Chains A and B, each alone.
Chain A
C-alpha cells in the first residue's frame, strides 16, 4: 500500500516539476547545513536557479549590513565566481573575507543608476556558470523580479537580491509582492553573552517571510562563521516562535 502511494506521489511530483519547467528540476539547491532550516525549505536548501530576496530589519533596512553578510556567507559556500552589482560602494571587503568569501572570486560591477543594477544582474545570470549573482537594490518591482527569476531558472545560477532602502520609512515596500522564490529578513540581535566584558558572536533574527511551495518560519541564528555557515543559537532564551508574528512585521 505505502509503496504504491509513494510511487503515485513520486509520479505526481515528476509531472508537476515538468510543468514548472526544466530549470527548476536540474538546478538543485544549496543547503545551509542547519537541519531545521533545510527541512523547512522545499528541496532541502536554497534553490539554485531562483531569485532570493534579503533585507535588513530596523535600521538594517538602510545599511543592509546583516543582509549583505548573510548573502556573502551564502555566496562563500557556493562554487564559482560571484558577481556583485551595486550602486553604493561602501562594502568593506575584509568583513566579507572573514566569512570565507575570497576576494579573487568576487567581481564588483558598480553602476550610477539603480536600473542598471537589475540589468547587470540579468546579464550575469544569463551568462551562466557563476556561483552567485548578488545585487543591492532599492526597488524590485514585480516585472523586474520576474525577469530575474526567469533568467535564473534558465541558466541555473542563484540570484541574491539585497534590498536596501534610502530611508527606513521606505522599507514597507518589502511587503509588495515579487516573483522571488524566497524572501528573508535578517535583523541584528544582541550578541551572545560572554563571561567577560566584550562582544561575543553576533546573533541574528532570521525570518523566512515567503517561500514558494513552502512554509514561513523564524529562527534565532548565530552569524556566519569563517566558512559562511550559520548555526541555530541555543540557550539564549529565545525559543522558536512559529505562531507569533515578528516584531518588525506590520
Chain B
C-alpha cells in the first residue's frame, strides 16, 4: 500500500523510514540471545526470522509447547509480536510460521505434507521472479507445485524449485550454519577417521571437557549452558545441550552431564568433529574453603539437581506462601533457591495428601456449624465418629475480587476405622452469598 493511501485511511499515521541495516543488527542480537537461551544451533532466516534447531534442547524449557509459548510471551512482555512454529524441516517451519494466524504451531512428525500443501508458493523461499512466473502458469499452492512433474519445471526455472521442495519435505538435508559470537568459549576436536563407538565418543567428550574447563578457568568463568555439537560425515549436525543450575567448572560434573546422554547421539556414518561450546557463562571466582573441625558440612547437591534437570525431570523445592487458602499456601521454587525464612503456621493439623481438585461428597450435617454425622465419598459411606472444627477460611478478596464473600469451613473427621479426612463446606452455613453449602473432600490425614 502506498504511503499516501495509508495516510488517507488513518489520520495521524506516523511514518518511519525503513532501516534494513538496523533491522538486521537487531535480528543478529536476537539470534545471540536465542543462542544463549534456547538452542545451540541458531541462524538468521530471511530478513525477518530466526531458525533454531531445538532438538535435544527443548527439555530444558519443559518441552516443545512450553518452550514456544515462553518465547511468544517473552516477546509480548516487550510489546512485540512473535510467531513460532516447530516442524521437522527448516523449509516447513519457515512456511508455517509465516502462514499461521495463531502465535504458535507445532507440526507433528510426518505431517509436513498435510501442513504445507495449502500454503501459497510465495513461502517456498524462491526468488520473487520465479514465484511470479509460477503464478502466471497458474500455480497457487505448494501442494499443486509438488504434484507437478519435475522435469518441465527444472527445464524452465532451473533446479531451484525442486531443491526447495525437497528441502521442505525433508528429502534433501539442509544444514543450518550456526551463528557464533567472538566471546564464546569453544573447544573442538577433528578426527582423521570418523568415530562412532560410544566409548570413543565418551573418551573424547571427557578430553574436551578438560580443555573447556581450563579455558573457562583462564577467564574466570563458569558454564551455565554447554553444547556438544556433533558434526557427522554426511554433513549433518546434531547438538546436545546441558544446563547447570549454578555456574560450573567442575570436570567430573560436566562430564557426567554429557556422558549421561551420549546414547542420544546417532553417529550414522561416523563423526568427524566434536565441538564443545559454553554458550552461556557466568563469572565464577575462585574461593577459599574454610575447613572446620566441628560443623559437619552438608554436601552441595547442585550436580545432582543438574543430572535430574537434564534428564527432563521436574526438580523443585516447596516454600511457604502467605495465604490461608490451603492450595495456595505452598509454592514451588527453584531447587537452588535461597532458603525461605518463615514457615507455615502450624497450629492446625494439615493433611498429608491434598487433592488438587476438591471432590464433592454427600454429607448429613446439622447447620450451621456442626460437623457431618455421615459422609459419602466415592460411593462409600463413612460414619463420622470424631470430628474437629470448624476452621473458617475466608476468600482472598484482595487477590481475587470474586472471592469477596467466599467462606470455607474445614472439619477434620475420623471414621470408625480410624481413617481421618479433611472436608470442607463451601459457605458459612447461613448466608447463601458465602457459598453453595455443598461439601467437599480436600485431603487425607495420616
Contact = CB atoms under 8 A, between A and B. Distances in A.
Contact of A65 (B315, B318, B343, B446): B446
B392 to A, nearest CB: 17
Interface string B283-305: 00000000000001011010111
Interface string A32-72: 00000000000000000000000000110001111011101
B370 to A, nearest CB: 11
Given A91-B352, A106-B317, A188-B446, A198 B388 contact: yes
Interface stretch (B38-46, B67-75, B78-86, B417-425): B417-425
Interface in A59-89: 59, 63-66, 68-70, 72, 79-81, 83
Contacts of B316: 107-108, 110
B314 A104 contact: no
A65 B386 CA distance: 19
A209 B446 CA distance: 20
Nearest to A119: B311
Contacts of B349: 95, 98, 199
Contact of A68 (B305, B311, B385, B446): B446
Interface in B265-323: 296, 298-299, 301, 303-305, 307-308, 311, 313-320
B445 interface: yes
Contacts of A80: 298-299
Contacts of B31: none
Interface in A83-140: 83, 90-98, 103-104, 106-111, 116, 120, 123-124, 127-130
Nearest to A104: B339
A70 B352 CA distance: 11
A155 to B, nearest CB: 11
Contacts of B307: 123, 127
Contact of B386 (A64, A93, A106, A191): A191
A92 B330 contact: yes
A144 B318 CA distance: 28
A200 B204 CA distance: 63
Nearest to B414: A199
Contact of A91 (B301, B353, B387, B420): B353
B350 A202 contact: no
A103 B346 CA distance: 13
B157 interface: no
A103 B418 contact: no
Contact of B446 (A128, A197, A202): A202
A81 B313 contact: no
B330 A199 contact: no
Contacts of A58: 417, 419
Contact of B326 (A92, A109, A123): A92
B397 interface: no
A127 B301 contact: yes
A202 B318 contact: no
Nearest to B380: A59
Interface in B318-348: 318-320, 326, 329-330, 335, 339-340, 343-344, 346
B412 interface: yes
A109 B308 contact: yes
A218 to B, nearest CB: 16
A189 interface: yes
A124 B299 CA distance: 12
Contacts of A191: 386, 414, 418, 420
A188 B420 contact: yes
Contacts of B340: 103-104
Given A58-B419, A90-B355, A191-B414, A110 B330 contact: no
A181 interface: no
Contacts of B301: 81, 83, 107, 127, 129-130
A203 interface: yes
A190 interface: yes
B222 interface: no
Contacts of A65: 351-353, 444-446
B329 A94 contact: yes
Given A83-B301, A199-B412, 20 more contacts: A65-B353, A80-B298, A80-B299, A91-B354, A95-B350, A95-B445, A96-B352, A98-B346, A98-B349, A104-B319, A106-B318, A107-B305, A107-B335, A109-B315, A127-B303, A190-B386, A190-B416, A190-B418, A199-B414, A204-B446
A-B pairs with lowest CB-CB distance, top 6: A129-B299, A69-B446, A92-B354, A190-B418, A66-B446, A65-B352
18 contacts: A65-B352, A65-B446, A69-B446, A72-B352, A90-B354, A92-B326, A93-B318, A98-B350, A104-B340, A110-B316, A129-B299, A188-B446, A198-B386, A199-B386, A199-B387, A199-B420, A202-B445, A202-B446
